[in-house]
Structure 1
Amino acid sequence: MNLFADIRTLVLDALTQMQTAGDLPAELDFSNVSVEPPRDPLHGDMATNAAMVLAKPAKVNPRMIAEKLAQLLQGDTRIISADVAGPGFLNLRLETTAWLAIIPEALSKGADFGRSDMGANKRVNVEYVSANPTGPLHVGHTRGAVFGDALASLLDFAGYDVTREYYINDGGAQVDVLARSVYLRYLEAHGQEVAFEDGTYPGDYLIAVGDALKAKVGDAYVDQPEAVWLADVRVFATDAMMDLVRKDLGSLGIKMDHFFSEKSLYGTGAIEGALDNLDAKGLIYEGVLEPPKGKKPDDWEPREQTLFKSTLHGDDVDRPVKKSDGAWTYFAPDIAYHNNKIERGFDLLIDILGADHGGYVKRMKAAVSALSDGRVPLDIKLTQLVKLYKNGEPFKMSKRAGTFVTLADLVEQVGPDVTRFVMLTRKNDAPLDFDFDKVTEQSKDNPVFYVQYAHARINSVLRKAADLKISPADQGLSTLQHVGELNLVKKLAEWPRLLELAAKHNEPHRIAFYLYELASEFHSLWNLGKEEQAVRFLQEENLVATGDKLALISAVKATVAAGLGILGVTPIDEMR
């Protein structure tokens, strides 16, 4: 049940009646007509922009549209009033019974309350984390991991067929550096003194890998030239790092459906095949790019090279795919990888990348547009940096990785639930301050605690009710009349709409925001009960009212559990 969608359907039906009556022209696009909560609750329960968005194409005064629409809407039994405001906004007030119907819906669906079929089982590939396999995941990766996993869960909840994917960047020179670093730890394991130079990785996390290599091959690689051991150690080290990555992700409850190796694209014809696809469409040519203004990117050369006409698909400049020496640019395997996704039959692709990939967005969207002939959309979400604070100061942790704070360090400090929720308390493209004092304090300023506390408080009331053998009502609910109760009911009714909006825009942070608002309405009602006997949840002298109130808070509990489930956070039944 989506009450906002139901009222929008009512508005669209009324607009169609106006077309039939000749009040509106027949050819009008209603797709931008919305019904949503008003910015100011004093204006009503819902507001529609129908008159404002249709006035210009209809060539009719918006207020005239709104007034006629108001007359038609008031014929529905759910509508108390429809008031025209300003130049043509229409504010609606609904009967209380229309709102209360959301409670039995929530109770019957439980943790599935709000689940939608809007995705129509379309296949979506969500690629996230995809860090170089050269070490443990760090705090920046953590944000992308949590965001991607929550988005995948959100899309699944909204009716999509979701694949969670990790792209292993194991095709570049950085993996050779990893192999050399592991070899140094291997020599250490044999008692040699070594120096980490030339950009090698000095983190302690490679000590165990060096020991494991020694256990596997003994002294076979000691003092041997690189040509003897590099290829084997490269594979050994990459496998060890991916085991570490899987362990890190597991500590956050993240499990990938598929790992795709960049290396698998080389020597298999995959890159050549993807570029042949583009070439057949007249999008590959030999040419020289104009020198860019300002700082020159790494892939610019003042000589002829193989280029992709990405400007024909929305990019700012054409992009090189092969250097003048015949080597692939880093963009070429990325094209092949996304071509592989298209060939696997996905209807929608989503990439979660770090903020430093901003220059990558247009070229990759252009490539996917060209490869799929515009059939498969690609949405690229960038996650901004995370800054750690404690006692109001930037917080430096142990840095067991040698150069950065790891995901494991963070989870060890505050736990997976806090880590996940806090990472979603800002929009993905906004910087995030992770304050260790705030995320562990028990106050309204800590959104994790505030939402979990609402769930635990409700659970405590329901336990007491069970001891008294009082059950939530499953129908009627007529005693729920207090403004605090109705505000909570109305916030509940926003949940199905909010879910679909969050899924439509690929924004799981909206779930975290909503849960905080829902918790706030609940806590406000709890606090009112300290002053007003009539709104207390347990009233042994009035079992009907108690049953209604228990039904309301049980619906809130189900909604909080559903929302936290999407975010990957475990609801707490009792605060300790």
Structure 2
Amino acid sequence: MFLSLRAEVAGALSDALDSLDVETTDLGIEDPPESVDAVLASSVAFRLAAEVGAPPPQLAGDLAEAIDPSTYDYIESVSQAGPYVNFHPSQAYYDATLQAAGEEEFGRLDEKGETVVVEHTSANPTGPVHVGRARNPIIGDALANVLDFAGYDVSRHYYVNDAGRQMAVFTWAYETFEESDLPEPARERGDYDLVRYYRKGNEFLEEASESASENAEAEIRSILEGLEEGDETTYERVEEVVDGVLSGMRESLDRLPVNFDEFVKETRFIRDGSTEDLVARLKDTEYAVYEEDAWQLDLPSFEKNLVFLRSDGTSLYTTRDLAHHEWKFANFDRAVTVLGEDHKLQAEQLRETLDVLGNDTDQLDSVYYSWINLPEGGMSTRQGTGIDLDDLLDESIARAREEVESRLDSRIRDDELGEEDVARIARQVGIGAVRYDIVAKQPAKSITFEWERALDFEAQSAPYVQYVHARTCGILSEAQHASKSRADPPREDAADGVPETVDTTHLTTDEERELLAVIARFPAVVDRAADELAPHVVATYTRTFAEAFNAFYRECPVLSADGEVRTQRLALVAAARQTVANALGLLGVAAPESM
């Protein structure tokens, strides 16, 4: 309803400005100052006062007087406070909010008729997913969820590096070393098993004699050349390693959970000839130079040249990624990529090169994230000193279980909750804490993950918001149980004891109205998060939501209320439950029914 109200406010302001013979495209619609009792305000009088020749407060007053609220559904009244034109919502606005928020898809926007491919994670298949890169799948998945909810047709892609030197080294090592040469795997899973070969290979290359190193490099080079030449046997050799590691990595990502529609392999763009075609086109550009035994692009915006073809005729990751992006442009209206900040230069060179090749780079957006660290220290997959995502999730679930058991101790003793229930709640809270703590921060800011903060039920964390959902479920469950115990006649239009049609005439307290106002804003939050490619906006909203609901819970008894007050408060609780569940769902955080 908030979006509908905002549209009415925009129309009212435009008509009022027309009546004053003033033209502007920026209506200055924003949240009102804290001291103003309104849902929306306009600061347009600030910008137009000089043009009109009147003080801002006077112009704001003239605009307020020019608007007739009776011609709008959701505007009850318009007032002026200083330079602001303030808009107060009608009863119909609150009624429509309560009605809409009871729907399962509340907050979902109309279909845009636009396809978007979101590429994220895309970690090299050289071993288990480690914590340093965990921010990518968490941000990427939440972003894809937000875009989908905002009405875009979203495809989630993982771009698999199966053609670079790392995979050639990995394949050579896998075929060279014996099981007896390796330590025990950290876990019984494909990625943990195979990464031992990769680490052993890198160790050998660093310590081997010159002749042994030269022999190994020759074999590695032959693998790279075989891939470039389209040799089917070489593809199969590399694929065995890639798919084995990737299957294990997918198990880690499934725990978050993060799912993909397609795993797009680099070698696809070698095998279909698009990389070779792209190289030929790059050579024909005015920026192509052959220097230091390699073909490069001397792009005007960058000091460092972009190498796109080695002297031996093999392409580079960026070359193949250029072909990959042209494929995206041909198949999708927009392409969004989530990248670590260390890939920013490469991504900017890629964009300019795509532009040189005649592509519409307005189709391309990049979201950069900074690192996530643990107090324990640094991480490196190649050296095997990293902290794996699985370790982080295991630890978070274990710590969450301790907290959950302490809070549910009496219910566990009374057999109200069994082992399966406790394990489920611990998993939902533990993994939710990891996801929420990471996605709640602006991507460009580096963060250090801290257990105490992430799992704090009282602070603005995942458990704090999840507990709101659990509390709404508890209230509605008790209401339903009370209704059954009174042997009330069944109602066809009731769910959880809440009628499908209910108004807000008895929801008059400040806390009730504030909660309704926050609920109404959810679709606008989705709209903004999608427009700005910023899922952390949803996380910020959930904290505001939790504060509004907790204030309502403290001041407005539900189950002990009488008559229509009870009915309408139950409807408000049901609307709150649906809203917070949908918001948490966008973040990929579970909404537990009990905690």
Superposition TM-score, scaled by structure 1 size? 0.79
Post-superposition offset of 1:310: 6.3
SS in 2 for 1:101: helix
Structure 1 position 426 matched with structure 2 position 441:
yes
Counterpart code for 2:288: E
Letter of the aligned partner of 1:170 in structure 2?
A: D
Asked whether 1:137 is paired with 2:129, we answer: yes
Residue 208 of structure 1 and its aligned partner are, at CA, apart by: 8.1
Residue number among 581, 588, 594 corresponding to 1:561 in the alignment: 581
Aligned counterparts, 1:213-232, within 5 A: 227=219, 231=234
- Distance (Å, rounded) in 1 between the aligned partners of 2:53 and 2:275: 53
Q: Which amino acid aligns with 2:578?
A: A
Q: 1:260 is matched with which residue: 260, 264, 287?
A: 264
1:48 matched residue in structure 2: 42
State how 1:362-373 maps to structure 2 within 5 Å. 362-371=348-357, 373=359
Q: How does 1:267-282 map to 2 (within 5 A)?
A: 268-276=272-280
Instruction: State the alpha-carbon separation in 2 of the partners of residues 436 and 521 from structure 1.
Output: 26
Which structure has more helix as a fraction of its residues? 2
**Cα offset, 1:158, TM superposition:** 0.7
What is the alpha-carbon distance in structure 2 between the residues aligned to residue 426 and residue 123 of structure 1? Answer: 27
**CA displacement 1:412-447 (0-9 Å, x = unmatched):** 22243222222212111111221122323332x151
Alpha-carbon offset, residue 382 of structure 1: 1.1
Contact 1:4-1:35 within 8 A present in 2 as well: no
What is aligned with 2:249?
245
Give the CA deviation at 1:113. 0.2
Q: What displacement does 1:329 show?
A: 4.6
| 2:11 match | 12
Instruction: Give the distance between the partners of 1:494 and 1:316, measured in 2 at CA.
Output: 46
> Does the CA contact (< 8 Å) of 1:368 and 1:377 recur in 2?
no
CA contact (8 A) 2:121 2:338 kept: yes
- Are positions 1:457 and 2:500 aligned together? no
Deviations 1:8-38 (A, max 9, x none): 333334424543x46124xx4x2x4353322
The answer as to whether partners of 2:5 and 2:75 remain within 8 angstroms in 1 is no
Contact 2:269–2:324 (Cα < 8 Å) also in 1: yes
**Correspondence list, 1:38-437, <5 A:** 38-40=32-34, 42=36, 44-52=38-46, 65-76=59-70, 78-86=74-82, 88-107=83-102, 109-110=103-104, 112-117=105-110, 120-183=112-175, 186-187=177-178, 189=179, 191=180, 205-206=193-194, 227=219, 231=234, 233-266=237-270, 268-276=272-280, 283-287=285-289, 305-307=295-297, 309=299, 311=301, 319-322=306-309, 327-344=314-331, 346-371=332-357, 373-374=359-360, 376-389=362-375, 394=376, 402-414=384-396, 415-437=430-452
Residues 95 and 173 of structure 1: CA distance in aligned 2, closer, same or farther (over 3 Å):
same
- Deviation string 1:177-232 (CA, Å, 9 cap, x unpaired) is 22233345x41x2x4589xxxxxxxx96327889xxxxxxxxxxxxx988599646
Assess if the C-alpha contact under 8 Å between 1:148 and 1:352 holds in 2: yes
Give the distance between the partners of 1:130 and 1:256, measured in 2 at CA.
11
Asked if 1 retains the 8 angstrom alpha-carbon contact of 2:294 and 2:309, the reply is: no
2:566 maps to 1:539: no
For the residues of structure 2 that align with 1:428 and 1:14, how far apart are their CA atoms?
Answer: 36
The SS at the match of 1:519 is helix
Looking at structure 2, the residues matched to 571 and 544 of structure 1 have their Cα atoms a distance apart, in angstroms, of: 28
Q: Structure 1 residues 166 and 51 mapped into 2: Cα distance closer, same or farther (>3 Å)?
A: same
Specify the alignment match of 2:455 in structure 1.
440
Determine the C-alpha separation between the residues in 1 that align with 2:124 and 2:92.
55
Is 1:518 paired with 2:542? no
Secondary structure of 2:88 counterpart = strand
Q: Which amino acid aligns with 1:95?
A: S
* In 1: Cα distance, 2:54 partner to 2:156 partner: 48
Q: Secondary structure at the match of 2:118?
A: strand
Between the aligned partners of 1:543 and 1:364, the Cα distance in structure 2 is 64
Structure 1 residues 303, 41: closer, same or farther in 2, change over 3 A?
A: farther
Task: Using the TM superposition, name which of 175-184 and 252-261 deviates more.
Answer: 175-184
CA contact (8 A) 1:140 1:354 kept: no
Give the unaligned 5+ runs of structure 2: 184-190, 199-214, 224-233, 397-429, 489-496
Give the deviation of 1:307 after TM superposition: 1.9
Given that residues 308 and 320 in structure 1 are in contact (C-alpha distance below 8 angstroms), is that contact kept between their aligned partners in structure 2?
Answer: no
Cα pair 2:173 2:197 within 8 Å, conserved:
no
Asked if structure 2 preserves the Cα contact closer than 8 Å seen for 1:136 and 1:245, the reply is yes
Shift in Å, 1:52 = 3.9
Aligned in 2, Cα 1:464/1:400: closer, same or farther, shift over 3 Å?
farther
In the alignment, residue 590 of structure 2 is paired with which amino acid? T
SS in structure 1 of the partner of residue 374 of structure 2: strand
Q: How has the CA–CA distance of structure 1 residues 526 and 34 changed in structure 2, closer, same or farther, with 3 Å as cutoff?
A: same
The reply to whether residue 23 of structure 1 matches residue 21 of structure 2 is: yes
Is the 1:139–1:410 Cα contact (8 Å) retained in structure 2?
yes
Matched with 2:593 is 573
8 Å CA contact 2:143–2:535 kept in 1: the answer is yes
TM-score w.r.t. the length of structure 2 is: 0.77
**Is the alpha carbon distance of 1:306 and 1:558 closer, same or farther for their aligned partners in structure 2, counting shifts above 3 Å?**
same
Partners of 1:279 and 1:48 in 2: CA distance = 54
Contact 1:5–1:35, Cα closer than 8 Å, also in 2? no
Quote the residue 2:528 is aligned against: 501
Counterpart in 1 of 2:481?
Answer: 467
**Is the 8 Å Cα contact of residues 349 and 376 (structure 1) preserved in structure 2?**
no
User: How far off is 1:267 after superposition?
Assistant: 5.4
Checking the alignment, whether the CA contact within 8 Å between 1:477 and 1:548 is kept in structure 2 is yes
Structure 1 residue 44 displacement after superposition: 2.9
User: Is the contact made by 2:288 and 2:295 (CA closer than 8 Å) also made in structure 1?
Assistant: yes
Whether the aligned pair in 2 keeps the contact of 1:284 and 1:309 (CA below 8 Å) is: no
> Which AA in structure 1 matches 2:559?
L
| Cα 1:419–1:323 shift into 2, 3 Å | same
- Mapped to 2, the partners of 1:350 and 1:56 lie a distance apart of 42
Name structure 1 gaps, 5 residues minimum.
195-202, 211-223, 289-300, 529-534
Distance apart, 1:251 and its partner CA:
1.5
The one-letter amino acid paired with 1:89 is Y
Which letter does structure 2 place at the counterpart of 1:124? V
Q: Within 2, Cα distance between the matches of 1:382 and 1:396?
A: 20
Alpha-carbon deviation of 1:331?
2.6
Count matched residues: 511
**Partner deviation per Cα, 1:244-284 (whole Å, 9 max, x = no partner):** 1221211222221111111222354312323555677xx44
- Identity rate, percent: 27
Give the letter for the 2:482 counterpart.
L
> For 1:171 and 1:310, how far apart are their aligned partners in 2?
29
Please give the alpha-carbon distance, in whole angstroms, between the structure 1 residues aligned to 2:350 and 2:27: 32
Contact kept? 1:10, 1:73, Cα under 8 Å? no
Please tell me the root mean square deviation across aligned C-alpha atoms, in Å.
3.4
Work out which of the residue numbers 30, 37, 54 in structure 2 matches 1:36: 30
